[in-house]
Structure 1
Amino acid sequence: MTTVIETCRIPPPRGVPAELFLPLSFFDMSWLHTVPMYVLNFYNHTCSEAEFHNTIVPNLKHSLSLTLKHYLPVAGNILFPLDTAASKPVLRYISGDTVALTVAVSGLDFDELVANHAREADQFYDLVPPPVPLTEDENYKIAPVFSFQATLFPSRGICIGVNFQHTLCDWRSTVGFMKAWAMINKSGGDKVLVPKTGPVFEKPDSEGSRRVDGMFWNKMKKIPFEPSVSLPRPTNRVRASFILRQSDIRKLKNRILSARPGLDRVSTLMIAAAYVWTTLVKSHGSSAEGEEEVLYIPADARGRRNALFDPPVPVNYFGNCLGGGLVKMEQRKLAGKDGFVVAAEAIGDVIKAKILDGDELLKCPENRLGKMERREKVFGVLVVYGSPKFEYKEADFGWGVARKVMILSLDQDNYGMLMSNSGDGGLVIDMSLPKERMESFASIFQDGLILRGKVYGESRM
C-alpha cells in the first residue's frame, strides 16, 4: 500500500529565459506515439517520516528547481498541432511552466522490491508518478514531458520514480539530468554542481537530416496523438534479476572462441545478449518452422562522425540520438544445440557492421519508416536496454549510489532485457516475463551456465 502525501509543481528558479522552442528531429518523431518510459531508482537510506517530510523533501524540491535552470525542456511540453498541414510539433518552455513532483510513503517491502527473485510486476507501479493529463489550446494538444515521485519506505529506503516522454529525450539524456539533480541535491544547494560540459539542446541539423525530418513528419502526422493518461498494470508479469558472474562471462567467451577461433572480437555485450536471447527462445518450449526472432540493440550516435552529421552530434546533446542494429534469426536455430554460438556470431557481425562503424550507424535513417510500415511478422522481439559501459546507478542524492535501477517499460515491450554492472566485474540482467515463462527462463538460464563435458581454458580477454 502506497499513500500519496502531495503532488506539487516545481518551477525553474528566477532568471531563466522566458521561453525556449525546440523543433522535433526525426530521432524524436520516432517516439511520438509510444507510451512513456517509467524508471525507478531505489536507494538504501534509513530515514524516519519526520526527517523525510521536514528535510529530504524540501531539499529535493529546491534542488529540482535549481536543476531545471540548466534543463529547461524538462519543465516544458510537447505541442502537437491540431492542424498538421499548417505546422509541426515542437517542444516549448514558457515562463510559468513547471514539472510535477509527487511525494508518497509506501508500506511495501523495500527488500522484496529490490531482490533478484521473481516478484509481481504490478506492485512497482505504485512508485511511478502518475501521468499529467493532456490539455489543449486553440492550436495544439499539449503534453508534459516529465514528472517525478519521491517515495519513502520508513526506516529502510527511498525510491525516485521518473515518468518521461521518449519524444523529448533518450535514456542517456535522462540519466544526465538525474545525475545533475543528484549532485545539486547532495551539495545542499549552496553550489550549483552540474557536469563541466552542460547539456546542449540545439537540434542536429544538416541538409540530409532536414530531408529525413520531413519524411518522418509526413508519416507521423497521420497517427492520432493520444499520450497515455493512466499507468498500465502488466497483470501476470513478474520481474527478476539474473547474475552473470565474471567467471560465467569468461566461460561463455571461451565457449564462443572454442567454436569460432577465428573471431577477432568477443565482447561482453555480445555474449550476454546472445545468452539471454537463446535462453528466452528456449523458454518458450517449442519452435516452429520458419518463425523468425529479432534482437534489437540500440546504440548512441553522439560523437560519431558520419555522412548525415558532420560535425557529429555533441556527446552532451540532450535529446534523442539513437541508431542501432537488428539481428534476425530463425527460431529453430536459436533453440538448437549451437544456438548460443550462432547467435553470438550474428550479434558480433551486426555490432561490427552497423554499430561500431559510424557511417553505417546512421546510414539511411528513412529505412526506419519502411520497417514501421511493413510491420514484419516475427515470433518475438527482444530489446536490449543498457550496456556494460553505461553505469546509470551513479546518481547520488546524498544517500549513496542506487541499490537498484528498474525500467518498468520492460513490461510493455514484447520482451526486453536491462543490462547493468554488478559492481564486481559481472553483469545483472533484469527481465520481465509472464509468470510461467519466467520459471522456465530461470531454470534454463542457470542450467546453461554449467558447462558439461569439455573443459574450456581461461579466457585472455
Structure 2
Amino acid sequence: MSTTVLETSGISPPPGSAADLTLPLCFFDIIWVHFHPIRRLIFYNHPCTEAEFSTTIVPNLKHSLSLTLQHYPPVAGNLLYPLDTDKSRPLIRYVSGDTAPLTIAVSHRDFDELTGGHARDSDQFYDFLPPMPPLAEEENYKIAPLIALQATLFPGRGICIGLSNHHCLGDARSIVGFMWAWAEVNRNSGDKQLRNRSSPLIYDRSVFGDTKNADEKFWSAMRNVALTPSSFPLPSGRLRAAFTLHQSDTKKLKNMVLSKNPDLAFISSFAVTAAYTWSSVVKSADAAGEEVDENSDEVFFFPADARGRPNAMVDPPVPENYFGNCLGGGMIKMEHKKVAAEEGFVAAAAAIADGIKNQVNDKENFLKGAENWLSDMPKFGELSTFGVSGSPKFDLLDSDFGWGTGSRLEVLSMDKEKYSMSLCNSSDSAGGLVVGLSLPKERMEAFATIFEGGLKF
C-alpha cells in the first residue's frame, strides 16, 4: 500500500480555554446543511525525513492546532440535526471536550506527479484526505462532526495538508482564515498574534438582524431531507488538471473584451478568467462529441462575500470578522450557442462584468430576494451549470506552517456531477491565476486544446 495511516488523534482546545457555545443556524448556513463536504489538499515542497516528521513536525502541528482551536471553538464542535424537524432547527454546538480529528499518514506516491499541472487521475488524491467522522446520535439530535484534518508526509519531498469540512461551519473566508491562523501559530510557535488581534472573531448570528422570515422559509424547504453521512465520490471517473493564466494572458483577454465592448469601462481579472474558463468548458462538450441542444441554457454561478458590503437584506452590513457563512453572488444565464460561439468568451466576460456591477456591487440588488434562493433552485436542476470554488482573496496556498507557501491546491469536492473551477494565485514569477478543473477524460483533452489554443494571439 503506497499510503499508510499512522494515527488519528482528537485535538481539543487547551482545558478551560474556550467557553461552551451554541449557535442556531441562520438561512446563510441552512442552505448548506445537506451539501457535500468541502474537500481540499494543500501540497508543500518541504523535504524532510520520517524521523523529523514524527518527532518534530507532528507534535508541533498537534500543539498549534490545539492553541488555534481555542480561538475557533466551533471548528472543534458539531452540527446538531434535530430528529424531530418540526419542533426545532439545526445548530452548531461546542462543549468542553469536543475535538477536531487530525490524521497522520506517510505516502510513497510520486510527489512530483501529484503536484504537476498536467491531467491526472482524480481518485489517487483521496489517500491524502481524511474522511469526515461518522454520524452519532444524542437524545433529540443526530450529531455530525464539522471538520477533519490530515497531514501526509512524502519522505524527502514534501507534506500535504488535507482538509474536509461541512459547509455549514463556514464559507471560504472563514475556513481559510482558520487555516491561516493554524499555520501562523505553527510557524510562530505560539498564538500571541491571535490573542492580540484588533478584531476578535464574531460568532453571534444576531449580526444579521431579523432574518426570521428567510430562516423559516429555508428550514421549511430543507427539513424533510434526511441528513446522510458523507461519502467519498469514488470512483469519480475524472481527471484533474491546473491551467495558469499569467498576468500577460489576462491583460490580452481584457483588451480583447474592451475592444469589442467600448462602453465597458472596466473588467476584472476574475471576470476574464472565469469567462474564458467557462466558455472553454462549454465548447469542450461540443468538441468531445457530446449531444448538446444549442438552444439550451448554460448557467454560471459566482460567489461574493457579503461581509462589509451594503446590501438589500442586512443593514448595517455584517462585520468582516464574522465567522460562519455570509455568501451572496451572481448568476449569468446564456444560450449554449452563444457561450460556445467563436467570440463566446467575449460575450461571457461582458455578462459577468455586468453581473458584478449590477448584481453584486449594487446595494439594492445584492441579496435581494435571498429568502427565495432555495425555492428557485429546482429550476436549475436540469440545466448545465458551472461554478467557482475558492477565491484568490482567500487563498489556502498562503497557509505557511513554516515550510513556505503551498505549491499546489487541489479541490477534491469538484469531483461531483456538476462542473466547477477552483481559483488561486499563481506562485511563479509571471504572476496570474491558476484554474483547477475536474473533468471526464474526453472533456479534459478537448478543454486543454481549446484553452491553450485560445491564448495564441
Shorter-chain TM-score: what band? over 0.9
Native 8 Å contact 2:312 2:366 kept in 1: no
Q: Which residue pairs with 2:153 in the alignment?
A: 152
Shift of 1:46: 1.1
Kept in 2, the 8 Å contact 1:287–1:335? The answer is: no
Secondary structure of the residue aligned to 1:327 is strand
- Look up the equivalent residue of 2:431 and give its one-letter code: G
Distance in 1 between residues matched to 2:362 and 2:17, nearest whole Å: 40
- 1:17-416 pair list within 5 angstroms: 17-189=18-190, 191=192, 193=194, 195-206=197-208, 208-228=210-230, 230-285=231-286, 287-378=292-383, 380-416=384-420
Q: In terms of mean alpha carbon deviation, does 245-254 or 193-202 score higher?
A: 193-202
Separation in structure 2 between the aligned mates of residue 329 and residue 418 of structure 1, nearest angstrom = 21
2:430 matches 1:428: no
Give the distance between the partners of 1:58 and 1:206, measured in 2 at CA.
39
CA distance in 2, matches of 1:343, 1:120: 30
Identity of aligned residues (%): 54
1:375 Cα deviation (Å)? 4.1
CA change 1:80–1:192 in 2 (3 A) is same
Q: AA paired with 1:83?
A: D
SS in structure 1 opposite 2:169? Answer: coil
Given that 2:180 and 2:398 are in contact with CA atoms closer than 8 Å, whether structure 1 keeps it comes out as yes
Distance 2:357 2:144 in 1: 39
1:106–1:152 Cα contact (<8 Å) kept: yes
SS at match of 2:396: coil
**In angstroms, what is the RMSD of aligned CA positions?**
1.6
Residue 444 of structure 2 corresponds to residue 443 of structure 1:
no
Which is worse superposed, 316-325 or 420-429?
420-429
Point out 4+ residue stretches in structure 1 off by more than 6 angstroms: none
Preserved CA contact (<8 Å) 2:71 2:194 = no
- Equivalent-residue separation in structure 2 for 1:255 and 1:81 (angstroms): 53
Shift of 1:390: 3.7
Counterpart contact for 2:385–2:418, Cα < 8 Å: yes
The question of whether the paired residues in 1 share the 8 Å contact of 2:271 and 2:349 is answered with yes
Measure the CA separation in 2 of the matches of 1:200 and 1:246.
Answer: 36
Cα distance in 2, alignment partners of residues 313 and 403 from structure 1: 33
**How far off is 1:208 after superposition?**
4.3
CA–CA separation in structure 1 for the residues paired with 2:185 and 2:392 = 26
Q: Which amino acid aligns with 2:445?
A: E
Distance 1:87 1:354 in 2: 34
- The Cα of 1:389 is off from its aligned counterpart by 3.7
Aligned length: 449
**CA–CA distance in 2 between the matches of 1:250 and 1:191?**
41
CA distance in 2, matches of 1:320, 1:335: 34
What code does the residue aligned with 2:338 have?
K
Q: Is the 8 A contact 1:146 1:162 kept in 2?
A: yes
Deviation of 1:207 after TM superposition, in Å, equals: 5.5
C-alpha change, 1:188 and 1:207, in structure 2 (3 Å) is closer
Instruction: Show the counterpart of 1:418.
Output: 422
Question: Gapped runs of 5+ residues in structure 2?
Answer: none
Match of 1:456?
none
1:91-149 CA-to-partner distances (Å, cap 9, x unmatched) read 01111111111000011111111101001000110000122010002200000001100
Per-residue deviation at 1:6?
Answer: 0.4
Contact 1:121 1:238 in 2 (8 A): yes
Tell me the SS of whatever aligns to 2:200: coil
Distance 1:232 1:389 in 2: 28
Asked if the contact 1:33–1:227 (Cα under 8 Å) also holds between the matched residues in 2, the reply is no
Question: 1:61-90, CA deviations, whole angstroms, 9 ceiling, x for partnerless residues?
Answer: 011000010000001000011111221111
Cα deviation, residue 206, structure 1: 5.0
Kept in 1: contact 2:221–2:375 (CA 8 A): no
Secondary structure in 1 matching 2:273? helix
Q: Secondary structure at the match of 1:360?
A: coil
Specify every segment of 5 or more residues in structure 1 that has no aligned partner in the other structure, as ranges. Answer: 452-461
What TM-score, normalized to structure 1? 0.94
**Greater alpha carbon shift after TM alignment, 401-410 vs 22-31:** 401-410
Tell me by how many angstroms 1:19 deviates: 1.5
**Cα deviation code 1:377-420 (max 9, x no counterpart):** 31x21111233444331111110111112211111251111122
- The answer to whether the Cα contact below 8 Å between 1:269 and 1:387 also exists between their aligned partners in 2 is no
Where 1:84 maps in the other structure, the secondary structure is: coil
Which amino acid in the other structure matches residue 442 of structure 2? Answer: E
